[in-house]
Structure 1
Amino acid sequence: MGIISKVFTLLKSVVSDVDHHIEDTQGIRLLEQHIREARSELERTADSRVGIVAKVRLGENKLEELKERQQKLEENALQLMAKQEEGALLNDVAAEIARLETQILQQQQILDSFRQVQISIEDAATTAQTRIEQFEQQLQLVKATDATQRVQQAVSSSSRSITGSVSSAADTLQRIKSHQEEKQAEFTAREELRKAASGEALEERLKNAGIGEQASSAESVLARLRQKQQ
């Protein structure tokens, strides 16, 4: 049951690691998708900025034209007044100046509105650009960390595998040595039993005691040769 429990615990750990890896991978993909969507929105905002800038410039040009016309008509009115011509012509010029002043006021209000929108869009675009860049930096950091942790996980798994393999190899080697020692002891015991049964063991004991037929040696050969010389 102990082994089964350990295997079950190991499997739970592996499954948990896989689940976390899948969750992290999905999180990275989701963050990438959000960044792409934010980039798309920023591009559409850029198009809007172009349109607003164009309207502001057109409004500024139109306002400048109205002011120039107003200034010219005022000069004309002064010239008429200088000539003491205060008839219908002067009244018409004055009416046109009044109409231009109304248009200038309205155009100024429209231009101010466009300028305010332009400022708001540019501020929002700048803030969005900064945030997107921050998210992109964080995304790169997350990816780098994820890649590093994958390598660490692979190294850790390999280390555990190598440790287990070395341990298994050591156990196997020890078993082989034990078997060999048992076989050698068995061979030795059989040889001893064989010698005892054939009498060889007794003869060896007598030889060791100096009794019985001795093995030839250099000293015995020299002794025999000397006896022949006498």
Structure 2
Amino acid sequence: MKILVTVKRVVDYNVKIRVKPDGSGVDLANVKMSMNPFDEISVEEALRLKEAGKASEVVVVSIGPAKAEETLRTALAMGADRAILVETEAAVEPLAVAKIVKAVAEAEQPGLLIVGKQAIDDDSNQTGQMLSALLNWPQATFASRIEIGEDKASVTREVDGGLQTIEVKLPAVVTTDLRLNEPRYASLPNIMKAKKKPLDKKTPADYGVDIAPRLTVLKTEEPGGRKAGIKVGSVAELVEKLKTEAGVL
């Protein structure tokens, strides 16, 4: 079975982002970029399934600028077999991403498609669900455990009330949650080997996908600073302030 994994190049999660003075977006100049953390988890899970004998090949795909090749090379250094970069300098919305990945999946014919549940830059949490609908494949979102059977997968999902285990027929789309695994670090020998692994470059036009934006960002603002708290002398005073000042009672 082949596993297809999507990865995205995003601002590193340790970086404190800055909003552009004109409010048109986030300032990316001289900012460290890395693989989306949820996608690292997706790559790790695909590699573990391959090591367990459940998969024969792990293919990673990314949609973004030429520099996204660095992100794909990281996935290859972790252990993925080959990569596909759909190169575009334009910002691509979740629906366009889903359409492109659908086309890649139709060409690659994977038995399982693993997607990070969301990217930490836009937090859309849409691509996996849209992809499932476009492919007409079963979906299992927010996975904290994946077990592969003969022609099906058992997936434990994180839901509001606890954990839910469902069974889906393969091929299927699975989106990963934080507690699924702990991604490995790429060793220096594997980093060197990754430079020689195959990486195909495509464009959205190669798949016949229109990536024109459907949404318009009106303004980007930093969140306001937290106000200082106050101390109260009694429970009665606390209740009174919650009623009259906070308006929550």
Is the structural similarity TM-score above 0.5? no
TM-score using structure 1 length: 0.16
- Which structure dedicates a bigger proportion of its chain to helix? 1
Larger Rg: 1
TM-score using structure 2 length: 0.15
- Which structure dedicates a bigger proportion of its chain to strand? 2
